[in-house]
């Protein structure tokens, strides 16, 4: 009897502590639970258009952390797990909710630094620190979002801690209040209330914590891992390289190299050592160091030689080798065609996000050095921006995210990057970026003057878009039926009709009837047929004779037409 009591006491005490092994399992469970519900989170979109991506963004963010955990065979304790997880999430962060999520775990990692294990009070403090850092990552925090859900849940759970609390009861309280807080988000944000949805970022966080709890309650990880990743894999046209093809372009070779203390002085090692070697056997070289990990990208005929050389300094965490003669039908990167030369750094450079081959080409012709492939449904990660910065040899780099959901990832990358002064221009839509790029003046006296001039030029830009509706809705006084085409301008639905051309004309009238705007650029998307474009061109010429209109093939997804007026 005494022995049984002693065992129960031991188990109870063990439940009051969190170690690295258990937390790693919890994170994998959280990632799996979110992944299986990612599409539901995507569909919690304020606008009834098929461009929701919060679930995918948060999935890819936490899966970046899981990949970092999988790349290390042994951890010394909880702090070690937290450090690897945080680093992987920071580099993999996509979209505003993904960046906020990564900052929350980064704050927890700071609080738990040096901990082999943590008691329940320390875990509570780490959660509080994580919420504080998440709020600090946003210039103007908005309540009714993932931030509110995290804060209210953590405050509630920590307030209930007592001498009988365990890790399990802490996260149980956290999940209970997180669900309640999520249901309250429409009370705090009118846009959510009008759209009859809860906050998508808060929902993503809830599913992560639900996965944490499933692991704590003994649900086997295998059961959680049955669903497939939300990340879309590019489809490959294998017919483009056959038995008689000749290797012309080489292999795009990318990997993460974990430096090893037994092989090299990790702290003193410079990525320049690898760069110098790669210059002899390849081009389009990217090689930079983050803590003890080296990111490598090179186009080469001999990927095996690259890997063999680099393994003398450490071991591979991830590897991707692609035949560049084979066409990839999704996520084509314009930057893959741009080669890095050995010329000295220039004073100014430009990085811009673009979705659609046509838009990317136009931006390149306007002077953009590196295009980061992405947009509304394909938000680039912090690591994507870091790769782009490395490819631009400039003292000052101006960055155009061109989407409000991409700005935080660009800023997070700017804080990490050390080899240039990064100026993130908060272009929150395509029009702002397009106008800012077209009027940029590098003859200004200082970088700050250039930045001010860009912002001044963007003030006059008006962006609107046409999209199919995926559900019925009543927003901004406009009734929308599922399947109709809607016009969106200034974060408001302004028109809806069965025909995309009728919707487009209604939107254009709302832009130009006041007489203040006189120029129009129309980016046509993949879903705009030649007949659609011809009909709209005719309508613009007839109904807006004083407007100077320019049609350009943008190639963007989701939106058949994007309008930029000035």
- When pLDDT is cut at 50, 70 and 90, the band that residue 290 belongs to is low
Lowest mean pLDDT among 118-127, 275-284, 453-462: 275-284
CA-CA-CA-CA torsion for 439, 445, 447, 448, nearest 10 degrees?
-90
**CB-based burial, 507-539: b 16+ in 10 Å, e otherwise:** bbebbbeeeebeebbbbbbbbbeeebbebbeee
CATH 1.25.40.340, applies to 2-224: yes
pLDDT tops 50 at residue 370: yes
| C-alpha distance from residue 413 to each of 400, 406, 423, 475 (Å) | 13, 11, 11, 35
d(CA 449, CA 461): 20
Q: Is the pTM of this model over 0.85?
A: no
- When pLDDT is cut at 50, 70 and 90, the band that residue 460 belongs to is confident
Kind of pairing between the strands at 251-259 and 293-300 = antiparallel
Quickly count: other Cβ atoms within 10 Å of residue 88's Cβ.
27
Percentage of the residues of the chain whose pLDDT score is greater than 70:
88
pLDDT tops 80 at residue 437: yes
pLDDT tops 60 at residue 280: yes
Quickly count: other Cβ atoms within 10 Å of residue 183's Cβ.
12
pLDDT, tens digit (0-9, with 9 covering 90-100), for 193-247? 888 899 999 999 999 999 999 999 988 755 445 434 444 444 445 555 677 777 7
Q: Name the residue with higher pLDDT: 226 or 163.
A: 163
Lowest mean pLDDT among 55-59, 166-170, 514-518: 514-518
pLDDT of residue 266: 92
Q: How many helices (H) and strands (E) does the chain have?
A: 21, 20
**CB-based burial, 218-243: b 16+ in 10 Å, e otherwise:** eeeeeebeeeeebeeeeeeeeeebee
- Confirm if 517 and 511 have CB atoms less than 8 A apart: yes
d(CA 427, CA 454): 10
- When pLDDT is cut at 50, 70 and 90, the band that residue 333 belongs to is very low
pLDDT of residue 382: 93
Mean per-residue pLDDT, 304-329: 81
Mean per-residue pLDDT, 245-270: 86
- When pLDDT is cut at 50, 70 and 90, the band that residue 3 belongs to is very low
pLDDT of residue 337: 40
pLDDT of residue 168: 96
d(CA 340, CA 389): 12
Architecture of the structural domain at 250-324: 2-Layer Sandwich (3.30)
Mean pLDDT of the chain: 86
Kind of pairing between the strands at 394-400 and 346-354 = parallel
- Confirm if 494 and 48 have CB atoms less than 8 A apart: no
pLDDT of residue 4: 42
CATH 3.40.1000.10, applies to 334-458: no
- When pLDDT is cut at 50, 70 and 90, the band that residue 291 belongs to is confident
pLDDT of residue 474: 85
Mean per-residue pLDDT, 497-502: 92
- When pLDDT is cut at 50, 70 and 90, the band that residue 118 belongs to is very high
Sign of CA dihedral 414, 415, 420, 421: positive
Mean per-residue pLDDT, 387-401: 93
Mean per-residue pLDDT, 133-150: 92
Q: What's the start-to-end Cα distance of the chain, in Å? A: 83
- Confirm if 486 and 495 have CB atoms less than 8 A apart: yes
pLDDT tops 60 at residue 505: yes
Ranges of H-type helices in 318-429: 357-365, 382-391, 407-416
**Nearest to 72, CA basis, from 89, 85, 91, 86:** 85
pLDDT of residue 286: 66
pLDDT of residue 249: 67
Q: Can you give the residue ranges of every domain in the chain?
A: 2-224, 250-324, 334-458, 462-565
Mean per-residue pLDDT, 371-384: 86
Lowest mean pLDDT among 181-185, 233-237, 256-260, 464-468: 233-237
pLDDT tops 70 at residue 115: yes
Sign of CA dihedral 41, 43, 45, 50: positive
pLDDT tops 80 at residue 13: no
- When pLDDT is cut at 50, 70 and 90, the band that residue 272 belongs to is confident
pLDDT tops 80 at residue 342: no
CATH 3.30.1180, applies to 462-565: yes
- Confirm if 18 and 167 have CB atoms less than 8 A apart: yes
d(CA 466, CA 510): 13
Lowest mean pLDDT among 143-147, 220-224, 446-450: 220-224
d(CA 57, CA 44): 13
d(CA 359, CA 553): 7
DSSP string over 333-357: -GGGGPPP--PPPEEEEEEEEE-SH
């Amino acid at each position: 009897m005494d022995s049984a009591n002693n065992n129960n006491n031991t188990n109870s005490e063990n439940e009051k502590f969190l170690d690295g092994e258990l937390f790693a399992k919890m994170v994998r469970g959280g990632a799996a639970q979110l992944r299986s519900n990612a599409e539901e989170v995507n569909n919690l979109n304020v606008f009834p258009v098929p461009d929701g991506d919060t679930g995918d963004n948060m999935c890819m963010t936490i899966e970046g952390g899981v990949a970092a955990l999988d790349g290390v065979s042994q951890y010394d304790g909880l702090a070690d797990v937290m450090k690897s997880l945080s680093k992987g999430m920071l580099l993999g962060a996509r979209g505003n909710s993904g960046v906020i999520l990564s900052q929350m775990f980064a704050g927890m990692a700071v609080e738990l630094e040096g901990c082999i294990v943590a008691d329940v009070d320390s875990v509570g403090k780490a959660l509080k620190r994580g919420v504080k850092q998440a709020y600090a990552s946003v210039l103007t925090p908005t309540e009714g979002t993932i931030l509110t859900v995290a804060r209210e849940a953590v405050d509630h759970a920590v307030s209930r801690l007592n001498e009988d609390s365990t890790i399990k009861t802490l996260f149980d309280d956290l999940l209970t209040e997180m669900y309640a807080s999520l249901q309250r988000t429409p009370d705090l944000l009118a846009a959510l209330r009008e759209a009859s949805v809860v906050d998508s970022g808060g929902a993503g966080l809830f599913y992560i914590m639900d996965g944490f709890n499933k692991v704590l309650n003994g649900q086997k990880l295998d059961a959680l891992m049955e669903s497939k990743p939300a990340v879309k894999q590019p489809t490959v046209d294998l017919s483009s390289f056959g038995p008689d093809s000749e290797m012309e372009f080489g292999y795009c070779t990318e990997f993460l190299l974990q430096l090893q203390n037994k092989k090299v002085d990790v702290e003193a090692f410079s990525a320049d050592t690898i760069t110098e070697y790669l210059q002899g056997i390849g081009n389009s070289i990217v090689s930079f160091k983050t803590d003890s990990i080296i990111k490598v990208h090179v186009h080469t005929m001999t990927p095996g030689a690259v890997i063999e050389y680099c393994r003398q300094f450490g071991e591979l965490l991830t590897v991707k080798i692609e035949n560049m003669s084979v066409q990839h039908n999704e996520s084509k990167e314009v930057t893959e065609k741009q080669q890095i030369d050995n010329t000295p750094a220039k004073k100014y450079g430009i990085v811009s996000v673009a979705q659609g081959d046509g838009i990317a080409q136009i931006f390149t012709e306007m002077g953009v050095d590196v295009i980061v492939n992405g947009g509304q449904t394909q938000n680039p990660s912090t690591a994507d921006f870091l790769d782009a910065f490395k490819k631009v040899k400039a003292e000052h780099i101006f960055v155009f995210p061109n989407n409000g959901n991409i700005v935080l990832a660009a800023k997070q990358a700017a804080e990490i990057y050390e080899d240039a002064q990064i100026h993130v221009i908060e272009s929150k839509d395509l029009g702002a970026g397009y106008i800012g790029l077209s009027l940029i003046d590098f003859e200004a006296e200082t970088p700050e003057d250039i930045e001010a001039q860009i912002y001044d030029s963007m003030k006059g830009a008006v962006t609107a878009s046409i999209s199919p509706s995926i559900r019925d809705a009543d927003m901004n006084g406009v009734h929308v039926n599922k399947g109709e085409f809607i016009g969106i301008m200034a974060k408001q639905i302004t028109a809806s009709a069965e025909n995309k051309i009728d919707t487009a004309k209604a939107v254009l009238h709302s832009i130009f009837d006041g007489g203040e705007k006189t120029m129009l650029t129309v980016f046509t998307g993949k879903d705009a047929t030649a007949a659609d474009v011809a009909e709209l061109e005719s309508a613009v010429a007839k109904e807006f004779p004083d407007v100077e209109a320019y049609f350009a093939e943008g190639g963007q997804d989701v939106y058949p037409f994007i309008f930029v007026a000035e």
